[in-house]
Homo-oligomer: A and B are copies of this chain.
Amino acid sequence: MIKFFENAPFVAVEYGYEVEKILYKGKSKFQEIMVFENPYFGRMLILDGVVQLTERDEFFYHEMLTHVPMHAHPEPKKVVVVGGGDGGTVREVLKHKSVEKVYFIEIDEEVINISKQFFPTLSCSIDDPRVEIKNMDGAEFIKKASGIDIVIVDSTDPIGFARSLYSEEFFKSVSNALTDEGMCVIQSESLLLHPDVVGEVQHTIKSAFPVVDVYTAPIATYPGNWWTFSIGSKKLDPRQMRRKCELDTKYYSDEIHQYAFVPKGLYEKLMQGKLKW
């Protein structure tokens, strides 16, 4: 039996997945790409040896990354998605009727092509007329953007070539690109295994946004699993929904919106660097 092993960063544990069949293995200009079939999780997308998504549980990540900021905003019309070449985030964004335009900025065209071929349930909305795809560096796009309601950064880990998306400079550009009620969100690792990284991302966003917060979702295929999403807002409190959720979702709901946010006391500890476990 073939197996794929992924090492959790900084932690002496690895996750091993049974590989039923390798569907694709190649190298783009930016990274190694692999797609394989696992008997439980279905098709899995691996970039540079790190699990990005599985067919079975991708909805946890894509719903939570997208719908929390989208519901905290009164009426998101213009949205930027940085990364997320698989299309899962764009699919969720387009569930919101208010959306008129999605700038889909994926540096690696190959990921989009692979997803169209192997992950049709994720890439299904990429060709929607409201979507404008640009294969370029998200940070460069953001520098020149304006009038944006929501920026969703759907990137790989803050190591390697996605590092620039976790910088103060980047979040300052994001803030400039956003309208007054705008907000941005970015995945920020596990609260269980990497509370130090979560805290760092929060402080970085704080350098550019008056309102910063963090919420979580359970994701079995991301090491540490109690996964965080860091949010920066120019004015509005992201814990507060501006309208009820009426979308077709598997996990996200009005109730989950509240439940997802890290409790205040735990959050204070995090920001003081006292979450050490």
Cβ proximity bits A250-263 to B, threshold 8 Å, 1 near / 0 not: 11010110110001
Whether the pair B17, A13 counts as a contact (CB closer than 8 A) is: yes
Min Cβ gap A268→B in Å is 10
CB A193 to nearest CB in B, in angstroms, measures 6
A160 CB–B CB distance under 8 Å: no
Cross-chain contact of A263 among B12, B221, B256 (Cβ < 8 A) = B256
Copies of this protein in the assembly total: 2
A26 contact set on B, CB distance < 8 A: none
Bound complex: CA of A263 vs CA of B38, how far in Å?
31
- Chain A contact residues (Cβ within 8 angstroms of B): what range? 35 or more
Q: How far is the CA of A263 from the CA of B263 in the complex (A)?
A: 14
Q: Mark A217-256, 1 if CB is under 8 A from B, else 0.
A: 0101100111000000000000000000000001101011
Q: Is the CB of B277 within 8 A of A250?
A: yes
Is the pair B16, A41 in contact by a Cβ cutoff of 8 Å?
no
Q: Is A14 an interface residue (CB 8 A)?
A: yes
Cβ of A265: which chain B residues have Cβ within 8 Å of it?
253, 255
* A41 cross-chain contacts in B, Cβ below 8 A: 12-13
Mask: chain A, 1-31; 1 = CB below 8 Å from B; 0 = not: 0010100001111111110000000000000
Taking CB atoms, residues of chain B closer than 8 Å to A47 are none
* Partner of A40 from B11, B225, B251 at Cβ < 8 Å: B11
Q: Which residues does chain B contribute within 8 Å of A168, judged by CB atoms? A: none
A97 within 8 A of B: no
B250→A255 contact, CB < 8 A: no
Interface residues, chain A, with chain B CB atoms under 8 Å away? 3, 5, 10-18, 38-41, 56-57, 59-60, 190-193, 218, 220-221, 224-226, 250-251, 253, 255-256, 258-259, 263-266, 277
